[in-house]
């Protein structure tokens, strides 16, 4: 029986779910009315599976809803409290954002950017990044943001696929005290591409750059631009952005999001999940290069006229106290981060966060992967001081916004560490077996979404066929996200990792998430990753990689035995790993997800494939080395 925590913000709106359950289409119709439309829609949903068009006939603009609507009441209010890695800070108000966005929209027009054209943005975490995005949205250009840690090859693939005619970059960005030379990376990426007409360069680090005939400085272009640019009235399904996400095959997919439906989803979920108020100081640590940064750093907070923190650097630079320093300095009330970051902070011990004043916090959130119960409890006790509800949110690049999460902004329900709780109103989520039949409570199955929702992707850029095959072919008229889950007796959803991270040991299915949570609940363990390697008898055997907390001096043989005993006790003998390896780091994507695909590929002696999203090449080398030793020992045991 999972522990429950009865904590909320005192909200109990029972009508919202009732309305959503009775008719999800008219429910979302009501929600869309919270936005400012130029003209109303004549059809709420045009559903031709698997393609959905929301609010057909309505016209709207994302930039207008993010900025224009706030000018009368909030022009002096801080929109972005920006903290640079090197200690610089800026306070950008809604009035200043409004002027800068209009000026940059005119800059784009002067470079002949038309409605529907693609603009690639490759910038560090500075206010000019949301300014560029909102300027694109203002004139109906489609932005495609690339995380500023990506390589030239990754950029070339994405720019070639989107056919962007303009690229916006910076001379450099700061990362862990060093300058990352972004302009040099762009030069390398586009040297063989002829359709890129202009490169706009923001001067951030003032490092020396090569200027070509295509290159133009942001500051000079802005100097000459008019500060008036009316927002284009765009159809509801006008594409807002393309965001590339990795697939199981390694080649990135261009997820295409629209405007009216996407904004409706974000406006609603931001209010429901975060209970956003005018006094709040919101801090989401996501980089804007990822979907969390698009949805819950740029669009949702701006739709609500919220004040937020934007931080440029690494969460543990120059030292492990950086996040708590920022929370204290700006009196942050809502903090939204990743389980990976939390596990790292937990590894550094309680003394650091306990030495800062975190008393302004009223709500905590987690995003990116399921949060281990032990980490949830640490977050609740050490960071939230047992007074903040935690929202464990599940969603994807493709879903646009959160689909499973506690929603303290509208209701108060018991929280269970490790469970995402319930689906949001207006979305029907089930757990089914291979045949698409619902499974009994507490039975593992596949997560499926049975109806369209406003934030869902329109399609994959230039690839309707792949869109159908990847998401809609496994179960008829159901969206299949590729995740493994169960519903408990209370109907709460528990995400159990990617379905392609499922290990099948002697015919039994074991999700990597529960194995890893079991490991992390051991006091000496900071992080773990489990994967399967082929075995003649069992089909697959489990091997586990473990990163220990700093300062652990326990004997590795004793530790290994303790962990094996723990797995046997918590999950069962069937889940006993063949081998546990202690390593200093795990291979992760730049957004902090463990790259189990790599662990699997190395274990199966396969090609590693696309590692453009990998944060640290050294981790792969270390894991490869451990695997080589494993393979050798297996061969020797067979002799």
Domain range for 571: 508-634
Q: Which of 195, 96, 233 is nearest to 104 (CA)?
A: 96
pLDDT value of residue 506: 63
Number of domains composing the chain:
1
In this structure, what CATH number is given to the domain that contains residue 556?
Answer: 3.30.300.30
Whether 525 is in a domain gets the answer yes
Name the pTM for this structure: 0.86
Q: What is the pLDDT of residues 315-343, one digit of tens each?
A: 999 999 999 999 999 999 999 999 888 98
Residue with tokens 């011990």: 349
Whether 597 is in a domain gets the answer yes
Q: Which of 389, 398, 380, 355 is nearest to 242 (CA)?
A: 398
Which residues have a Cβ under 8 Å from the Cβ of 460 and sit 6 or more positions away? 253, 254, 255, 256, 466, 467, 470
CB 389 within 8 A of CB 9: yes
Query: For the residues 69-76, what does the mean pLDDT come to?
Result: 98
pLDDT band at 432 (very low <50, low <70, confident <90, very high): very high
Determine which helix (DSSP H) or strand (DSSP E) holds 510, and give its type and residue range.
Answer: strand 508-511
Query: For the residues 369-380, what does the mean pLDDT come to?
Result: 92
In whole numbers, what is the pLDDT of the chain averaged over residues?
A: 91
Which residues have a Cβ under 8 Å from the Cβ of 614 and sit 6 or more positions away? 587, 588, 589, 590, 595, 598, 620
pLDDT value of residue 536: 64
Q: What is the pLDDT of residues 249-265, one digit of tens each?
A: 446 789 999 999 999 99
Enter the tokens of residue 275: 């209970």
Dist CA 275 CA 362 (whole Å): 10
Whether 586 is in a domain gets the answer yes
Query: For the residues 117-130, what does the mean pLDDT come to?
Result: 98
Whether 620 is in a domain gets the answer yes
pLDDT of residue 483 exceeding 60: yes
Q: Which residue has the higher pLDDT, 438 or 503?
A: 438
Determine which helix (DSSP H) or strand (DSSP E) holds 392, and give its type and residue range.
Answer: strand 390-393
pLDDT of residue 144 exceeding 50: yes
Q: Tell me what percent of the residues of the chain surpass a pLDDT of 90.
A: 75
- Average the pLDDT over each of 234-248, 424-438, 529-543 and give the range with the smallest value: 529-543
Whether 579 is in a domain gets the answer yes
Query: For the residues 65-70, what does the mean pLDDT come to?
Result: 98
pLDDT value of residue 622: 64
Whether 524 is in a domain gets the answer yes
Whether 535 is in a domain gets the answer yes
pLDDT of residue 195 exceeding 60: yes
pLDDT value of residue 369: 82
Whether 321 is in a domain gets the answer no
Q: Which of 286, 261, 229 is nearest to 105 (CA)?
A: 229
């Amino acid at each position: 029986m999972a522990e429950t925590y009865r904590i909320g913000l005192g909200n109990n709106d029972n009508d919202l779910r009732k309305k959503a359950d009775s008719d999800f289409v008219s429910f979302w119709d009501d929600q869309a009315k919270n936005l400012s439309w130029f003209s109303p829609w004549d059809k709420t949903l045009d559903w031709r599976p698997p393609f959905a068009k929301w609010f057909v006939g309505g016209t709207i603009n994302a930039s207008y809803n993010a900025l224009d609507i706030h000018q009368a009441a909030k022009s002096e209010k801080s929109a972005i409290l920006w903290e640079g890695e090197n200690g610089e800070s800026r306070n950008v108000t809604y009035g200043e954002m409004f002027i800068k966005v209009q000026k940059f929209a005119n800059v784009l027009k002067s470079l002949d950017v038309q409605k529907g054209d693609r603009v690639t943005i490759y910038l560090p975490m500075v206010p000019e990044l949301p300014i560029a995005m909102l300027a694109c949205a203002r004139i109906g250009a489609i932005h495609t943001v690339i995380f500023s840690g990506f390589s030239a090859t990754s950029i070339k693939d994405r720019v070639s696929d989107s056919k962007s005619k303009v690229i916006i970059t910076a001379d450099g960005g700061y990362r862990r005290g060093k300058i990352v030379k972004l302009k040099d990376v762009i030069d390398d990426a586009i040297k063989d591409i002829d359709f890129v007409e202009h490169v706009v360069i923001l001067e951030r680090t003032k490092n020396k750059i090569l200027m070509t005939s295509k290159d133009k400085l942001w500051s000079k272009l802005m100097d000459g631009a008019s500060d008036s640019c009316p927002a284009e009235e765009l159809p509801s399904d006008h594409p807002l952005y393309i965001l590339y996400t990795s697939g199981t095959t390694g080649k990135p997919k261009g997820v295409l999001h629209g405007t009216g439906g996407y904004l409706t989803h974000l406006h609603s979920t931001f209010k429901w999940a975060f209970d956003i108020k005018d006094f709040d100081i919101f801090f989401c640590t996501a980089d804007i290069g990822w979907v969390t940064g698009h949805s819950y750093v740029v669009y949702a907070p701006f739709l609500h006229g919220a004040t937020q923190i934007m931080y440029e650097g690494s969460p543990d630079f120059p030292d492990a106290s950086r996040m708590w320093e920022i929370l204290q300095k700006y009196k942050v009330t809502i903090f939204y981060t990743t389980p990976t970051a939390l596990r790292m902070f937990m590894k550094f011990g309680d003394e650091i966060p306990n030495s800062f004043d975190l008393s302004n916090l009223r709500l905590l959130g987690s995003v990116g992967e399921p949060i281990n119960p032990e980490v949830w409890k640490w977050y609740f006790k050490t960071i939230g001081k047992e007074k903040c509800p935690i929202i464990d949110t599940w969603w994807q690049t493709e879903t646009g916004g959160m689909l499973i999460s506690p929603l303290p902004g509208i209701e108060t329900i018991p929280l269970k560490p490790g469970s995402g709780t319930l689906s949001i109103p207006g979305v029907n989520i089930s757990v089914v077996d291979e045949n698409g039949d619902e499974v009994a409570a507490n039975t593992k199955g596949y997560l499926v979404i049975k109806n369209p929702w406003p934030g869902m992707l329109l399609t994959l850029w230039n690839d309707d066929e792949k869109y159908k095959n990847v998401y809609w072919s496994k179960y008829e008229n159901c969206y299949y996200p590729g995740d493994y889950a169960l519903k408990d007796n209370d109907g709460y959803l528990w995400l159990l990792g990617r379905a392609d991270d499922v290990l099948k040991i002697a015919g039994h299915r074991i999700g990597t998430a529960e194995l890893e949570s079991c490991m992390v609940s051991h006091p000496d363990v900071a992080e773990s990753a489990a994967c399967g390697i082929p075995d003649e008898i069992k089909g697959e055997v489990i091997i586990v990689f473990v990163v220990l907390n700093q300062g652990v001096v326990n004997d590795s043989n004793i530790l290994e035995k303790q962990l094996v005993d723990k797995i046997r006790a918590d999950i069962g003998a069937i889940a006993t790993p063949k081998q546990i390896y202690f390593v200093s780091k795990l291979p992760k994507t730049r957004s902090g997800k463990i790259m189990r695909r790599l662990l699997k590929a190395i274990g199966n002696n396969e090609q590693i494939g696309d590692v453009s999203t990998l944060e640290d090449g050294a981790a792969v080398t270390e894991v490869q080395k451990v695997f080589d030793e494993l393979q050798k020992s297996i061969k020797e045991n067979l002799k």
